[in-house]
Amino acid sequence: MNHETRPLTVLDLIAMKTAGRRIVMLTCYDAAFARLLEQADVDVLLVGDSLNQVLAGRETTLSATLDQMIYHAASVRRGARRSLVFVDLPFLTYQISVPEAIRNAGRVLQESGAQGVKLEGGRPMAETVRALVDRGIPVIGHLGLTPQSVHALGGYRVQGRDDGSAARLIADAKALEEAGACAIVLELLPAPLAKAISEAIAIPTIGIGAGVGCDGQVLVLHDMLGLNEGFNPKFLKRYAELGEAVRHAVRGYASEVRAGKYPGPEHSFE
């Protein structure tokens, strides 16, 4: 367990890869969970646009808004003081133009207190990544299955299965590194390809459905805690079954309320 109290920085991510220490990342959307995850020594809290699905019940991430992301990022930041906080830039907040990407990413850091942003795409986004980094905004890239392009990709499918697409993904990773990205999320890639990408670049890779060869791993918090019970992809390991724990607790509460057992004398004021 890491007992350091010094806040982590983006330079620590590079140092962790150099030292062979795996990076632990989880999604987080509120202050209460942020406190718990930081106490459990999670290195990076990702305020993912997955909140559009997990919290808002939408089918995709596409309708997440910048204001929505900033609100949740500010909540997470208030709960975490040591862990790094990165925020997904939502769909169409960075793809239209570089000036708009700078403006929107700047708002995220200014209004939430987060340390950086994450955006999807390879070589076509390299200019944007460079512009953000040159203005002091740390960027994590995202390659492979990019959820904001789910319709173009034909659904949530493993990417990079053929030699041509694998070569393009390696080139994309190198382009993001050259543009100044501090890390890259690799989602739904064959494990050997993700390992090859990780070995080809000096910045850390963080995998989700990309095998153990990455420099770190990320999962959606509600998935790994068993709160999103209908979601069962091959790469997901549940470390708790909190869905059933919540139902059990609420049934106990409801039973005692209906039976007049709660509140008891010990919960009442004279």
Contact 94, 140 (CB under 8 A): no
Q: Strand 205-208 vs strand 183-187: parallel, antiparallel, or unpaired?
A: parallel
Strand partners, 84: 44
38, 120, 177, 187: the catalytic one is 187
Q: Rounded to an integer, what distance in angstroms lies between the CA atom of residue 209 and that of residue 145?
A: 10
Rounded distance between C-alpha atoms, residue 25 and residue 224, angstroms:
12
Q: Report the 10 Å Cβ neighbour count for 115.
A: 21
- 3-class DSSP assignment, residue 76: helix
Structure tokens at 49: 């646009």
190 contacts 198 by C-beta, under 8 angstroms: no
CA–CA distance, 201 with 170 (Å, rounded to integer): 9
Q: Is 100 assigned a catalytic role?
A: no
User: CB neighbours (10 Å) of residue 100?
Assistant: 14
Active site residue ranges: 187
